[in-house]
Structure formats: C-alpha cells, structure tokens
Structure 1
Amino acid sequence: MNFEIGNLIRWRKFYGNIVLIMHCSGPVNHTVLGWRMLYGRIFKSVVVVSEQSNPDLGVEYGEWWQVYKVLPKIFERYTNADGFMFLKDDTILNYWNLLQADKTRLWITHKVSSSWEIANIDSNSTAWYFRNGGREIVKKVLKDLPVHFQIKYRESMDEKSFVVCSSEIFYVPRQFVGDFVDLVSLVGELSLHHEVAVPLFFLSMETPDKFDPDALSNTVYKRGKASDSLSYYSAEVHAVNPWKVSNESDFVRLLKAMSLGDPLLLEVL
C-alpha cells in the first residue's frame, strides 16, 4: 500500500497544476461524478463540458464539433495553471505512463497514424470535412492567419495541405495559451470543425518536431470498436480509444482495467 500511495503522490506532483477539460458525450448525470473521482485525485481541477449542460452538476455547455471555442473562457479561469489537458470521454488516459512528458511542450497524437491524416485542400474527396462548405472555410482560415502563424504553419505544411486529427486528447502548456486563444478568435463564427481546427492551431503555434516527441505517441486507437474495449485495453500505453462509459457498471469495468496501472482504484470499488 505504501508503494501505491507513493505513486499517487508522484502523479499529483506531476499533474497537480494542470487543469483537465473533459467533453462528455454520454449521459452526464450517470458519469460526471465518476470522471471527477477518477481524474480529480491527481489534476488541479476537472472541468466537464457536454452538449447537455447541467448547472447542478457543474457541467458546462459545449458542442463536440466546436468544443475548442469554449476553451478560452476556461483558460481565463485558471491563470496560474501550468497547462490544460483536453480529453474526450471515449478516450482513457493512463496517467501513470506520462510522467516523463515535457509539460512545456504541446502534446497531441501526431505520431498515431490512424488519428492524424494529411488532406489536400483541392482534393476531389467527398470526405466529411469537405462537406457543408468545409473546404472554403479551411481555405479562408489559412488565408487569414496572421503572418507569424502563417510562417510557422508553412514550416511543416504546404499551402494546399491541412491535417485532420481526431483531437480527443491533447495538451496545451501555459506559454501557448495566448496563441490558442488568438486562433480561436480568428475562426470567430466560422463553422470550422474541432478535428480540423485543433491540428491547424497546433501547426500554427509550433512545428511538429517541437511537439513532445513521445507524449501520446503510444496510444491505442481503434475507431469504431468500443464494444470490445477490454480486448485491446493495455495499462502499458499512454491512452486508449475508444472506451464507452454510460453508467456505473461501465465505470466499475473501467476501474478494474485501469487498476493494473493504479491499484488504488480497487479501493473505490
């Protein structure tokens, strides 16, 4: 037990001044307390955003497809935080495996091929991100980037390319918060999807070779297989997607799996 408590202290020391922002797609009345229990033990605070706001449970409103637009007001609330971790509720964070990550760098799944896709803006593709005027919106945002952001973006992407990233998990350190807020303001009322906006912002703030090279690189990503999550969950990786949690029994199942990396979770069952 002393060993497990020692680990908890180490995790709190590492994450203790980082705010976790969670987007919940499931029924928050059945899950929000569980998420706060799980991650609130180590993070400075857990802010929950959902398409079903619930003031009684402290759940704020935010649509998934544009959830990045609610982040600036949360950043503003925690001016002394070292950084902000974003997590969608279908992605499980194995927090014990990221203690070597650099909290001054950006983290995202740029090394997970199934999560990070380069697209051509002039492609004849009928992919979802080109529908409903998506192509013209991306062109406009790239064209309107202030010069310093354009220069940084062009260091890693040509003028015809952009990235689509699932963006269920990423980290923004304090020194990039101002740039992130500026980029959200630049998008304004344009209907730029979260999965296009976040990688565009990251590439405008920094080149990928300056992102943390290891953080989130070891992520299991099995889109569309949530019903079989136990078969691919591993306590040895950084994160696992997808894992669906809709009720208390789902949480029990999750905590039992995560207890391989954090045995203290068995104490709350």
Structure 2
Amino acid sequence: MIRETLRNKQALTGLILIAFVSIIAVLAPIIAPNDPNKIDLYNRFQAANAQYPLGTDQLGRCVLSRLLMGASYSLGIAVPIILVLGTVGMTVGAAAAYASRRLEQVFLIICDMLMAFPPLVLVLSLIGSLGQGMVSIFAAIFVSMWAWFAKVVWTYARMEKGKDYILASHIAGCSGSRIVFCHIIPNILPQMVVYVSTGAASFILMISGFSFLGLGFAAGTPEWGAMLSEARSHFYSHPTLVVYPGLCILLAAAGFNLFGEALRDILSPEEVSE
C-alpha cells in the first residue's frame, strides 16, 4: 500500500503539503524571523524587506512570523482532535454495532439527538460556557462531532457484522471484545483512515472559521482565521494581508483532502468504479 501511495501523484502531492505544513508547525517558534506578537506602530504596513520578508500588518507585526505560528494553532488543534475523535468513534461505534439491541438503540438515540443540532450551534454554546482558549475549542469540537464519527463507524461495523467471518469467529468461541477489536475494527480501518484524513481538512477550515468570527482565541492570536478577520478592513489598500493567510488555509486543507481522496481510490477501488 505504501508503494501504491507513493506512486499516486495526488496522494504524493497531499503528503508533501501535509509534511510541509507539519514541519512549519513544529519549527515555527525557531524559524520565525521576529516576535509574531510584537506591536510596532511606527512600522505599520511595511513592504517586504530584509527584516520583514512579507512585510508588516496594521499593527506593525511581522506577517511571516504570524503565518508560521498560525500553522501551530491550526494543526495543533485539528490533528489531535481528529485523532481523538477517530479513536473514540472507532471504539464506541464498533462496540455499539456488536452490542445488544437495546444498547444499540440507546447509542443511536444519543447520536441522533446530537446530530440534530448543527455543529456550529453546539460549538458556540460550549465556547460561550467554557470561555476562550485552545482547550475550550478542543472540548467544544469533540462534544459536537464525536457522534458523527461514531455513527459512521457504526454503519461500517454493521456491514462487517453480517459477514461470514464474524459468524465463524463467534462459532469458534471468540469473545465479543475480541471480535470487535481484532476483527471488525481492523477491517473497517481503511475506510476510517480516509474519513479521518478528509475530516482533518474540515477541522482546519472550522477552526479558521471560528477564529474569523472571533471565537475561541484571544484577540491578537497569530492564527490564520484571526489574521483574515483583522485584515478584512484593509483588503482594498493591502490585499496581501488577506491573501497570505487565505493561501495557508487553502494549502493545509488541500493537502489533507488530496491525500484522503487518493487513499480512498487506492484502498477501495471498487467504490470509484461504481
């Protein structure tokens, strides 16, 4: 599978973009040329120069340094939350598919109740209650989205549950937990890897959207969505202040989407042919 992935141009492009943004997110505090939060009103709207490679913004802050640090905020929330959601969704969804009918119904009712509310409404309510900060955003997204992941896993797990190898495992005396963790989950893992990869792109856009609306992060945080929000009033006079963070969001989301879609084509070619 690794060889097929590296041979696929779309998957390789997505991997390169993901690796590039990830390296920047990790090394941002080291490679940032200036303090991203330092305000210098005497150097407002500076053009690109040796000290400020991409110029300065409306408060005299280094644009390049803020863009680099923005990767840390976007990926620092999107990647951990997608991993946690994927793990919880896999465990709860697969277990619910193999549980008793009554427990399965309870699971479906809880999921349907949470999915009835738009995620934005739940996130707004939770952030309003928990306050601003990365922890609040993490908790709000998890509470509002775990049911979606668990329901997808439940759907795949129900399909696997009806196959002959599950019946054979049951006849052979395998326990329920062994069937779930050693048979069902490994067989639905490829589909979930695709779902998780494309979900990471959605969370990057979601986090940037919340920041654009002024939710979750304190004012002045060097996050891409927040930078877009701050620069929109200067779009006509200094459009690059909007273009730069917009391109960063686009590249980061495109990397995960390209990789996820290519991985789907590699792992499930029958779905593509249909």
**What is the TM-score when the length of structure 1 is the normalising length?**
0.22
Greater strand share, 1 or 2? 1
- CA radius of gyration, larger in: 2
- TM norm structure 2: 0.22
